[in-house]
A and B are shown apart, each in its own frame.
Chain A
Amino acid sequence: MSCDVLEVDFDARGAIASSGVVDETTIPCDDVVLAIGQENAFPWVERDIGIEFDNWNVPVVDPTTFESTRKGVFFGGDAAFGPKNIIWAVEHGHQAAISIHKYCQGANLSDRLPRGVNLTTAKMGIHEWSYSNDYDPAGRRIMPHVDLKKRFRKLNIEVELGFSAEDAATEVERCLNCDLQTVFSAGLCIECDACIDVCPVDCLTITPNGDQKTIEANLKTARLEPEQELYVSGPLKHTNRVMVKDENLCVHCGLCAERCPTGAWDMQKSTVVIPYAIDEAERDEQLCRETRKAG
């Protein structure tokens, strides 16, 4: 494929001021698929109905409510903040739905349910967890693809063939289970050091409490990411020392929790809670019931 090499100058606003061909280059290819992009354009929106447009000619949208400068009109997807991917578009849809629900209820659009993280223990028994914590150090499985020639012959063919049952089983065992958090309860700790002893990356330390510098000096392993905050527990009941964890080093293997005789270390599954319109609706209903009961 032969291409012209352009030289471009931008003006103060960032728009192209001038350009010119300075060279030519050839890239060797088996085939070429044209995908040359798209653009937001809103010629169909009248400019006198109270919807304000910015200097890129896209509507001004509230980043929380997705409402435009005209009440009751919402934007989402590429139309809201320019080109993003489909995952963002789905999220915009959810947020706009919440806003529309609130708008219809006559409620304050900015008063939204909080996001959060739910932690539930994964412990099923003494040495039993509700997930596979036996990390497999095998290398990443290579996804088999349809032969290149076949792909060119039929452009809409699905490229990835999928893993074999064995490869799929190996691949899932490589999971680091980063949704499982190591959660510490200082009140249960008997300072037996079993977790420190078993930790394969030495990310745990029990040390007298003190300022950041003193604690850092006592760490079993020097920090690789000094900017990342250390976990420091409350005082342990026997010696008033503290449990310190360098989250950057932790591989979530769960061995500390597995070995802990009192359950002070626990592996807890974290679920991110993102409220949707239905949650807002349920809250409204509940409030309604409570008001009625009170009345």
Chain B
Amino acid sequence: MPGNAKSRINDFVVKLANVNGTGSASANTLLMKAIFRMGIPVTGKNFFPSNIQGLPTWYEIRVSRKGYLARSGSVDIMVAMNQATYAQDLAEVSPGGTLIYDSTWPRESVIARPDIAVIGIPLARMCNERFAKTRVRILMKNMAYVGALAALIDIELKVIEKLVRETFASKQALIESNMDAIALGYDYAKKHFACPLPTRLKRLDKTAGHIMIDGNTAAALGCVYAGATVGAWYPITPSTSLMDAFRAFCEEFRKDPNTGERNFCVVQAEDELAAIGVVLGATWNGARAFTPTSGPGMSLMNEFLGFAYFAELPAVVFDVQRVGPSTGMPTRTQQGDILAAAHASHGDTRHVVLFPGDPRECFELSVAAFDLADRLQTPVLVLSDLDIGMNDWMCRELEWDPAYRPDRGKVLKPRTVARLPGRFNRYVDPDGDGIAPRTIPGGHPKGSYFVRGSGHNRFGEYTEDSDEYLEVVDRLRRKWTTAAKLVPDPVIRRTRKAGNWGIVSVGSCNPAVNEAIDRLAAKGIHLNYCRVRAFPFTRKVERFLDQHDYVFVVEQNRDAQLKSLLMLETSYPADRMHSILSYGGLPMDYRCVVEAIEEAYLAGVAA
């Protein structure tokens, strides 16, 4: 067997090339979870097509004893199960790596490279002989390669078996067939190859206190904990699983145990504009409501987002970003909606935007979003992305403070309204923070008012009078200043050795940036790092910028949208910001950050 026999323990990438619609996702997730349960830090990225069946799909599992969760950009073991992508998959394997393929059709002439080892396992043949039904054969082929990998990289079989038993707890027959398929691959690999490979796993204890969770599930859980009772939506990849999870949690936790009555409402509207309409109706009536969507849905919601901004209605919108413009690449990741979210809708609108950096923050910022929306009486947009939303991330366990009470903001109780000396005026700010107390409809007749998107004065009456209009929109600007004090601060990572260079980044860039900082430090380049978590930018963001002579802005879009926003909203000079952009649709790898900064550093040192 050719290749580099150097041992690589708990530090490598396994990539699985599959055909979409063959049930490979569950096998691949099982692999990743098994590694996690062996106490080894691991991350799994799913690159899937916008297609029901037939197009190529990949799953990339990175094992990192140091706990790095970004993509590494290289592949050590390729499981090539898609003959349509053999050439591409073969080319992608790092020198010294291994390629595993289904040798039911032996293809040594096609699948060969002198610098890697090629392992052929007749997976289809074994499954065809063992299982009778076509669909089962195709499904079990996936489990067979899980078995082969278990032998080749030393995944503990008892861990796999436990996972299989948990997954198919109610279906004994499925447990047996899955374990049979795993044994087929495992036994074949043990019999025909030197197992384990030099690149392999070894049990660690580095996952204690951590869970594997995807951002959409975590965000949905945040909605439940924040007390959201209404969700309205129109399905769109990659946000659909957020509503699926919310509904599943509610079915479990929000049903009256005695009557079986559902204490929640999920509305699938006819489109995204209707969905946010439902949300605004619900929040106006006092409920906590949200809608999950993605870029195209955000475009459709613009009209109502402007309405909610001007009429001052709370709402929470999750934009799980995908590749734009237009329909773009629906199943690929990007951070292309930053500017569109910040300035959604026409006229002078600016929206509060939160940027979770991992699923754990999806949970935390989801709760924060509902409080901010109520406190600021305005839509709050939570911008995650497909990478965070749909991939399983290893996160610290979610924490919850039982003392939490929702911040409903300035809401006048019917009793208070009744005791008001004069009439109730919807848009009068009593204390200068730009926020006017509101009432919930149906509380007290005195609290009623017109909600309008047209020009209104501080009493909520229609107006076209300049002064009256200015009073309202200038107060909204004051409210924006208040928002900047309430939204989450950035996460700042400082290094003692760092000079006056810094990195500013956002959202799912985080693992790549953190790994890049470590790798650059090993090369003597030390940088501080500020991860923005909200728009408007808080004082700490400005201060970080001011403390650094030169800042790299790392983000996943073509047009440097975060940098643009920093240019617009801070006084930091644009020519001292250098963009590092990754926008091809795949989750960011650390290499692009390391390379760009190293290059700039060398140029800087030379100058």
Contact status A124-B124, CB under 8 Å: yes
- CB interface residues, A 247-282, toward B, < 8 Å: 262-263, 266
Per-residue 0/1 for A161-202: is the Cβ within 8 Å of any B Cβ (1 yes, 0 no)?
000000000000000000000000000100000000000000
Does chain A have a CB within 8 A of B253? no
Given contacts A123-B137, A126-B21, contact A131 B105 (CB under 8 A): yes
Distance in Å: Cβ of A163 to nearest Cβ of chain B? 15
**Docked CA distance A262–B134 (Å):** 8
A255–B384 CA distance with the chains assembled, in angstroms: 43
- Write the chain B residue with the least CB distance to A261: B53
Residues of A within 8 A of B137 (CB): 121, 123
Considering only CB atoms and an 8 Å cut-off, how many residues of chain B contact the other chain?
Answer: 21
B105–A125 CB distance below 8 A: no
Which residues 362-390 of B have a CB within 8 angstroms of A?
A: none
Q: How far is the CA of A114 from the CA of B557 in the complex (A)?
A: 70
- B19 in contact with A123 (CB, 8 Å): no
A286 within 8 A of B: no
Give the CA-CA distance A127 to B138 in the complex, in Å.
11
A188 to B22, CA, bound (A): 19
Checking B53, B104, B129, B133 against A124 with a beta-carbon cut-off of 8 angstroms, the contacting residue is B104
Shortest Cβ distance from residue B81 to the other chain A in the assembled complex, whole angstroms: 7
A40 interface contact, C-beta 8 A: no
Q: Is B192 engaged at the interface, CB distance under 8 Å to the other chain?
A: no
- Is the C-beta of A128 less than 8 angstroms from some C-beta in chain B? yes
A264–chain B nearest beta-carbon distance, Å: 9
**Chain A nearest CB: distance from B155 CB in Å?**
23
Q: Could you tell me if B134 and A266 are in contact, using CB atoms closer than 8 angstroms?
A: yes
Q: How far is the CB of B223 from chain A (nearest CB, A)?
A: 37
Kindly state the separation between the CA atoms of A203 and B19 in the bound complex, as whole angstroms: 30
Interface centre among B21, B82, B104 (most CB of A within 10 A): B104
Contact of A127 among B19, B81, B133 (CB under 8 A): B19
> B125 at the A/B interface (Cβ < 8 Å)?
yes
A-contact bits for B122-147, CB 8 A (1 contact / 0 none):
00110011000111011001000000
Minimum CB distance partner of B122 in chain A: A130
Assembled-state Cα–Cα distance A150/B587 (Å): 65
Q: How far is the CA of A262 from the CA of B135 in the complex (A)?
A: 8
Set B104, B125, B133, B138: member contacting A126, Cβ < 8 A: B138
B54 at the interface (CB under 8 A from A): yes
B138→A125 contact, CB < 8 A: yes
* Cβ–Cβ contact A263 & B102, under 8 A: no
Nearest chain A CB to B57 CB, angstrom units: 12
Residue in A121, A124, A127 whose beta carbon sits within 8 Å of that of B105 in the complex: A124
Which residues of A in the span 103-134 have a Cβ within 8 Å of any Cβ on B? 120-121, 123-131
In the assembled complex, the CB of A182 is this many whole angstroms from the nearest CB of chain B, namely 15
**CB <8 Å contact, B128 and A126:** no
B83 within 8 A of A: yes
Contacts of A188 in B (CB 8 A): 134
Nearest-CB distance from A187 to chain B (Å)?
A: 11
Question: Please, how many angstroms separate the alpha-carbon atoms of A128 and B128 in the complex?
Answer: 13
Q: How far is the CA of A263 from the CA of B133 in the complex (A)?
A: 9
For the complex, what is the distance from the CA of A123 to the CA of B139, rounded to whole Å? 13
- Which B78-126 residues sit within 8 Å CB-CB of chain A? 81-83, 102, 104-105, 124-125
A127, A128, A129: residue with the most chain B Cβ atoms closer than 10 Å? A128
Are A130 and B138 in contact (CB-based, < 8 A)?
no
Q: Are B128 and A125 in contact (CB under 8 A)?
A: no
Residue of B21, B81, B82, B105 touching A130 (CB-CB under 8 A): B105
B54–A123 CB distance below 8 A: no
**Contact assessment for A263 and B83 in the assembled complex, using a CB-CB cutoff below 8 Å:** no
Smallest Cβ distance from B192 to chain A, in angstroms?
A: 19
A-B contact number at CB 8 A: 47
Shortest Cβ distance from residue B316 to the other chain A in the assembled complex, whole angstroms: 40
Query: What residue in chain A is nearest B137 (Cβ atoms)?
Result: A123
From B21, B81, B124, give the contact of A123 (CB < 8 A). Answer: B124
Cβ–Cβ contact A125 & B134, under 8 A: no
Specify which chain A residues have a CB less than 8 angstroms from the CB of B104 in the assembled complex.
Answer: 124, 130
Interface set, chain A 208-224, CB cutoff 8 A to B: none
B106 to chain A: closest residue by CB: A130
Answer whether A130 and B124 are a contact pair too, CB < 8 Å, given A124-B105, A263-B135: yes
User: Closest chain A residue to B20 by CB distance?
Assistant: A126
B134 touches A128 (CB 8 A): no
Given contacts A128-B83, A131-B105, contact A123 B134 (CB under 8 A): yes
- Contact of A128 with B135 in the complex, beta carbons under 8 Å: no
CB nearest neighbor in A for B134:
A263
Give, as a whole number of angstroms, the nearest-CB distance from A220 to chain B.
26
In the complex, how many angstroms separate the beta carbon of B184 from the nearest chain A beta carbon?
A: 15
Contact A124 B102 (CB under 8 A): yes
The residues of A that contact B134 with a CB separation of less than 8 Å are: 121, 123, 188, 262-263, 266
A110 to B428, CA, bound (A): 109
Assembled-state Cα–Cα distance A131/B107 (Å): 10
Chain A residues closer than 8 Å to B81, beta-carbon distance: 125
Bound CA span A188–B104, Å = 25
For the complex, what is the distance from the CA of A188 to the CA of B137, rounded to whole Å? 15
Give, as a whole number of angstroms, the nearest-CB distance from B340 to chain A: 38
With the chains together, A124 CA to B53 CA distance in Å? 15
The smallest beta-carbon distance between B560 and chain A, in angstroms, is: 41
Query: What's the least CB distance linking A253 to chain B, in Å?
Result: 17
- Are B124 and A127 in touch, CB under 8 angstroms? no
Residues of A close to B141: CB separation below 8 A: 124-125
Looking at B53, B128, B141, the one whose CB has the most chain A CB atoms below 10 A away is: B128
Question: Which residue of chain A lies nearest to B21 when distances are taken between CB atoms in the complex?
Answer: A126
CB distance from B80 to the nearest CB of A (A): 12
One digit per residue, 1 when the CB lies within 8 angstroms of any chain B CB and 0 when it does not, for chain A 116-156 equals 00001101111111110000000000000000000000000
Q: Shortest beta-carbon distance, B56 to chain A, in Å? A: 11
Provide the residues of chain A in CB contact with B19, threshold 8 Å. Answer: 125-128
Which residues of B in the span 45-65 have a Cβ within 8 Å of any Cβ on A? 53-54
Q: Which residues of A contact B53 (CB under 8 A)?
A: 126
Docked pose: A129 CA to B125 CA in angstroms: 11
Chain B residues positioned under 8 Å from A131 (CB to CB): 105
25 A-B residue pairings within 8 Å (CB atoms): A120-B129, A121-B134, A123-B124, A123-B128, A123-B134, A123-B138, A124-B83, A124-B104, A124-B141, A125-B19, A125-B22, A125-B82, A125-B124, A125-B138, A125-B141, A126-B21, A127-B54, A128-B83, A128-B124, A129-B105, A130-B125, A131-B105, A188-B134, A263-B133, A266-B134
Chain A contacts to B: CB under 8 angstroms: 120-121, 123-131, 188, 262-263, 266
Query: Which 9 A-B residue pairs are closest in the complex by CB-CB distance?
Result: A263-B134, A124-B124, A130-B105, A130-B104, A121-B128, A124-B104, A128-B83, A125-B19, A126-B22
Question: Could you list which residues of chain B lie within 8 angstroms of chain A, going by C-beta atoms?
Answer: 19, 21-22, 53-54, 81-83, 102, 104-105, 124-125, 128-129, 133-135, 137-138, 141
Beyond known contacts A124-B83, A127-B54, A130-B104: 18 more, CB 8 A cutoff: A120-B128, A121-B134, A121-B137, A123-B137, A124-B102, A124-B104, A125-B19, A125-B141, A126-B19, A126-B22, A126-B54, A126-B138, A130-B105, A130-B124, A130-B125, A188-B134, A263-B133, A263-B134
